[in-house]
Structure 1
């Protein structure tokens, strides 16, 4: 969670003197208490509904691959686009459940979203990009152009 720190712009020397600033500002005090008391798991979900998922970027001989850890979603939850060499991966997920018995009614709903963007290098063949989703891992395959593929090592003989 990023913290915005308010600043006071003034030429008054008392405002800049450390002996007059012994108390923390209310926003920083609040962030300190919440951050230490509740842990980062709660704070990361507090504002966004979903944390940014872990991402692996793999530079292979024939392709780049982006692996995104996003368990519990359906293929239809993903929105993957490429526009002007920028790859964007977005997710929008809505859940709702209703439970009724003779003594109570319970209704739960949730909404989560995130969006990650990556600049695609010129060496990628954008027409051949593909994706698959298995066991909670979204994998996007970014094949390299033929001229960008890693060539095998060649031994040069001395004549």
Structure 2
């Protein structure tokens, strides 16, 4: 009975994803073959940090592009001849193509974006423009 209840509520995560599809730095999603890598977005004083969980991918298989204030991360996975020749009795993981896009806020300095990939996590650092950085407290004297 509990299993039936769980499957009946599978619509909730997809409804939430749909609601936040174009959210500020929340990103849009386009999936191919139903793979959607998990993402974390955090804001620091000097930058935004975007982390994408894509274990099993190599750096060469991942593309990052910026076009008109939209950051897009994609990977196109092609089936190899060795994959086609195998007959799996059980297959619980595989690499699949994906595409994730994120609307960048005006405060991001797009000229100095940096990315690295380590232990299955793609990390993209989006530095803020100088004018968007927190300013120190100051006192204004009266005249």
CA RMSD of aligned residues (A): 3.3
Mapped partners of 1:94, 1:111: distance in 2 = 9
Extract unaligned runs of 5+ from structure 1.
Answer: 1-32, 41-46, 100-105
Q: Provide the rounded CA distance (Å) in 2 between the counterparts of 1:74 and 1:60.
A: 28
Call closer, same or farther: CA 1:50–1:62 in 2, change over 3 Å. same
2:60 aligned counterpart, secondary structure: helix
CA 1:136–1:111 in structure 2 vs 1: closer, same or farther (change >3 Å)?
Answer: closer
**Higher Rg:** 1
Residue of structure 1 in register with 2:85 after alignment: 107
In structure 1, distance between residues paired with 2:138 and 2:131: 20
Q: Distance in 1 between matches of 2:32 and 2:77?
A: 12
* TM-score (normalizing by structure 1): 0.58
4+ residue segments displaced more than 6 Å: none
Give the structure, 1 or 2, with the largest relative contact order (CA under 8 Å, sep 6 or more). 2
**3-state SS of the aligned residue for 2:78?**
strand
Please list the CA deviations of residues 69-109 of structure 1 after superposition, one character each: whole Å capped at 9, or x if unmatched: 0000000111110000011011112353639xxxxxx8139
* Equivalent pair of 1:66/1:139 in contact (CA under 8 Å): yes
